[in-house]
Amino acid sequence: MRPATIAIDGPAASGKSTLGYYIAQYLNYLYLDTGVLYRAVTWAALNQKVAIADEAAITTLAQELDITVSPKIQNHHHEEDGRQYTVTSDGQDITWAIRTPEVDGNVSPVSVYPGVREALTRRMREIAAQGKVVMVGRDIGTVVIPDADLKLYVIASAEERAKRRYEELLIRGKRTTYEAVLNNIRQRDKIDSGREAAPLCAAEDAVEFDTTAYSKAEMFKAIIEIVENWNTQGNN
């Protein structure tokens, strides 16, 4: 027996999506990085010049936006650009457009709006209902699928997370500084943990997973152990 639904939560750049993607491949499960949905709404707002402070307009956007997240390669031009999935909004490929510092800087306020959360949570639950899914986010184990078979809460120090995110941005040719990235991460931690609707926190029955001192290989080894030992711990 293996867990059919896996919920992975944690702060920005904690390693949760690297882990989630890996374990989804390992189990041959569907992978959904739910931050993508909040990012797509934020990107659309910036793109359509909808003010981030306009809660009603942003909420409508979240309800009406046609977002798709599909496994990896949609056309051969993208084969080697390092994507884990392809995101489209109204047919346009926005996989990388949602990863800019501009979206990073506006996504937390967008995700505070209860109406936005409600619209996106509904979509997530529809996807989770199919089973065999690894879902990654902030409130997956607490709100979106509280009955998930396995819940992980992934953490790492803010400095280590900033270092990882900064290196990622450099590789993709974005101009920024380590300090700016660290500031953004601290700011997002504060908003994500402090908001009233579905704040970032560990579910009571989540397994804590600290990646600060782990290499990717060590992270992968540890998560396989957790998954393979799942039903020997009385979870079935």
Q: In the complex, which residues of this chain contact ligand DC (CB under 6 A)?
A: 12, 34-35, 38-39, 107-108, 111, 137-140, 188, 192
Comparison of 12 and 156: residue with beta carbon closer to ligand DC: 12
Nearer to ligand DC, 140 or 169 (CB): 140
Q: What is the DSSP string of 105-162?
A: HHHHHHHH-HHHHHHHHHHHHHHHTTSSEEEEESSIIIII-TT-SEEEEEE--HHHHH
Q: 116 or 223, CB closer to ligand DC? A: 116
Q: How far is the CB of 107 from ligand DC (least distance, A)?
A: 4
Closest C-alpha to 33, from 3, 7, 59, 64: 7
Give dist(CA 53, CA 91) in Å, integer.
26
CB of 226 to ligand DC, least distance (A): 21
> Nearer Cβ to ligand DC, position 2 or 100?
100
Say if CB 55 and CB 109 are below 8 A apart.
Answer: no
Q: In what order do the strands lie in the sheet with 133-137?
A: 30-33, 133-137, 5-9, 150-155, 207-210
Nearest CA among 57, 69, 5, 12 for reference residue 188: 12
Q: What amino acid occupies position 3?
A: P
- Nearest approach in angstroms of CB 169 to ligand DC is 13
Q: Which is nearer to ligand DC, 61 or 107 (CB)?
A: 107
* CA gap 85, 14 in Å, rounded: 19
β-partners of residue 153 are 9, 208
Cβ at position 215, least distance to ligand DC in Å: 21
103 versus 223: smaller Cβ distance to ligand DC: 103
The nearest distance, CB 102 to ligand DC, in angstroms, is: 13
The least CB distance from residue 90 to ligand DC, in Å, is 20
CB 9 within 8 A of CB 202: yes
Q: Which residue has the tokens 């290989």?
A: 217
